[in-house]
């Protein structure tokens, strides 16, 4: 019945609570995928449920032809947390990237002598629509859909010399502070700082894709804060909605170039999604969950390092905040399947990495549970082999 776009396992999940999921037989699973960094407060957080019930009886959608209090409140919160001035709301990370690319092209045309080239990084992942795909540095996602959108050029990640050689004609550089789908590979601080300098020198925009690593996942609300580099444009989504679809593009004064008619969205930033986004931010920021992430991330990383010492299958622990990963010395597909058979949900990434993505409100005791469960999985997998 469904178009075959995902290789789904033969499981049907019915409900969830916190880090736990339950299938049709009411079997319990430990969810270390969190909707691929979407469920920032876990499954069915009581405050999100409360907001959903309340907002559903109040207002769902009226279109962006009109203001809503919920959208204005969320915009004000995001601007207040950021170094940026304006927000555009959409429905997903890919849509956020598409908006950012349009901002870049218009900026180049009007403010940078008609420059139109957009530089992107090898092994990056920015989405599956044609624009986002055209700045995604992985040919396996691109090949069947060529020709892609022109005027883009791939650069080596963390290679300043390669960037410098390709700056001529560029209106923007798009980069992930940490390449999630490539295997949780962090940008070097000096690399991002140099990109900032180059964009200022060459009059082009610096775009950060924080779709996976943003919204508190890194330990600061915006990942760029961890690197000490302020981009002109920030793309975010995933954890911002805690499970409800929402994306956002933040721009500084330099990149605030759209006027009515330049871009739009039917559902983006509707009252329902923004109400939930406001609740997520209240829990993360006002109630302080965000300020516990660094400490919990340190504890989780320590536990993963213990696993590395215990099992030769693990080559490296890598990641940032509560976006951690285990690089294995073989393709992790069979390991992930074995984990699912043993009621643990894991997700892979490039470079043989298994991502460990708990909700941001994970408790200290739950981190110990993660360690014990993963240890048992590794032991069982080793024995099975």
Instruction: Look at residue 383 in the predicted model and tell me its pLDDT.
Output: 75
pTM: 0.97
Q: How far is 25 from 10, CA to CA, in rounded Å?
A: 13
Instruction: Look at residue 253 in the predicted model and tell me its pLDDT.
Output: 98
Instruction: Look at residue 385 in the predicted model and tell me its pLDDT.
Output: 66
Q: Annotated binding residue at 93?
A: yes
Count Cα atoms within 13 angstroms, Cβ side, for 277: 31
Domains 13-44+290-384 and 47-289 agree in fold:
no
Q: Annotated binding residue at 356?
A: no
Q: Annotated binding residue at 209?
A: yes
Q: Annotated binding residue at 68?
A: no
CA angle 199, 218, 41 (to 5 degrees): 135
- Give the sign of the dihedral formed by CA 16, CA 21, CA 23, CA 26: negative
Q: Annotated binding residue at 8?
A: no
Express each pLDDT in 326-356 by its tens digit: 999 999 999 999 999 999 999 999 999 999 9
Do 79 and 85 meet the contact criterion of CB atoms below 8 Å apart? yes
Residue ranges covered by each domain of the chain: 13-44+290-384, 47-289
Q: How far is 321 from 292, CA to CA, in rounded Å?
A: 10
Instruction: Look at residue 382 in the predicted model and tell me its pLDDT.
Output: 84
Low-confidence stretches of the chain (pLDDT < 70) are 385
Rg (CA), the chain: 21
Q: Annotated binding residue at 210?
A: yes
Instruction: Look at residue 289 in the predicted model and tell me its pLDDT.
Output: 98
13-44+290-384 has which fold? 3.90.1150
Instruction: Look at residue 46 in the predicted model and tell me its pLDDT.
Output: 98
Q: What architecture is domain 47-289?
A: 3-Layer(aba) Sandwich (3.40)
Q: Annotated binding residue at 125?
A: yes
């Amino acid at each position: 019945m469904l178009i075959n776009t995902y290789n789904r396992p033969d499981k049907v999940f019915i409900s969830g609570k916190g880090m736990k999921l339950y299938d049709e037989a009411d079997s319990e699973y430990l969810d270390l995928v969190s909707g691929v960094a979407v469920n920032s407060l876990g499954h069915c957080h009581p405050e999100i449920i409360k907001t959903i019930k309340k907002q559903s009886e109040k207002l769902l959608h009226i279109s962006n032809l009109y203001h809503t209090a919920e959208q204005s409140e969320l915009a004000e919160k995001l601007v207040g947390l950021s170094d940026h001035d304006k927000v555009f709301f959409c429905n997903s990370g890919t849509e956020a990237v598409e908006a950012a690319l349009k901002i870049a092209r218009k900026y180049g045309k009007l403010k940078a002598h008609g420059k139109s080239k957009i530089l992107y990084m090898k092994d990056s992942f920015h989405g599956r629509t044609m624009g986002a795909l055209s700045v995604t540095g992985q040919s396996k996602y691109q090949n069947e859909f060529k020709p892609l959108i022109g005027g883009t050029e791939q650069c080596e990640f963390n290679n300043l010399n390669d960037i410098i050689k390709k700056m001529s004609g560029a209106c923007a550089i798009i980069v992930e502070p940490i390449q999630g789908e490539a295997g949780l590979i962090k940008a070097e601080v000096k690399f991002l700082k140099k990109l900032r300098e180059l964009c200022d020198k060459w009059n082009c925009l610096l775009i950060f894709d924080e779709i996976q690593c943003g919204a508190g996942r890194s330990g600061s609300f915006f990942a760029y804060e961890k690197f000490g580099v302020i981009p002109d444009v920030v793309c975010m989504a995933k954890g911002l909605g805690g499970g409800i679809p929402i994306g956002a593009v933040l721009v500084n004064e330099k990149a605030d170039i759209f006027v009515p008619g330049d871009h739009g969205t039917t559902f983006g930033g509707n009252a329902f999604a923004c109400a939930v986004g406001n609740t997520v931010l209240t829990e993360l920021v006002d109630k302080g969950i965000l300020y516990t992430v660094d400490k919990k991330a340190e504890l989780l990383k320590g536990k993963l390092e213990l696993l590395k010492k215990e099992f030769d299958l693990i080559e490296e622990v890598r990641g940032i905040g509560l976006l951690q990963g285990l690089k294995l010395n073989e393709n992790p597909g069979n390991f992930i399947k074995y984990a699912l058979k043993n009621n643990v949900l894991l997700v892979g990434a490039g470079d043989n990495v298994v991502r460990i993505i708990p909700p941001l409100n994970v408790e200290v005791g739950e981190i110990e549970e993660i360690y014990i469960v993963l240890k048992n999985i590794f032991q069982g997998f080793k024995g099975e082999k």
